[in-house]
Amino acid sequence: MVRTPLTEGQRDRGRALGQILRAARAPRTAAEVAHDAGISIDTLRKIERGAIPNPAFFTIAALAKALGMDMNDLAATLAAAEEAPPEQGRGLRAS
């Protein structure tokens, strides 16, 4: 099966999602969050660095629950990151 290459926008969205999730787990280790979400630490690390730019919905839902995040807030934060100019989109912090 041949995969369609990702667009730069899709890659940017994946990196922004990773930054938001990493900021949200800041006081906790990746291992703790991965365990609580029921995913591997490798998967969490790949999502956080944007290597998995389109993670499965249920993976994100599990991470949001483990981090105590509301899915609507996560979506709004991600949408705001997508609308921000590139220099403002760097170093996002979850609210």
Give the mean pLDDT of the chain. Answer: 88
Distance CA 13, CA 33 (A): 21
- Regions of the chain with pLDDT less than 50: 88-95
Amino acid at position 73, single letter:
D
Residue 35 CB: number of other CB atoms within 10 A?
A: 14
- The tens digit of pLDDT for each residue in 58-69 reads 999 999 999 999
pTM: 0.80
In the three-class reduction of DSSP (H, G, I as helix; E, B as strand; rest coil), residue 29 is classed as coil
Res 87: pLDDT = 56
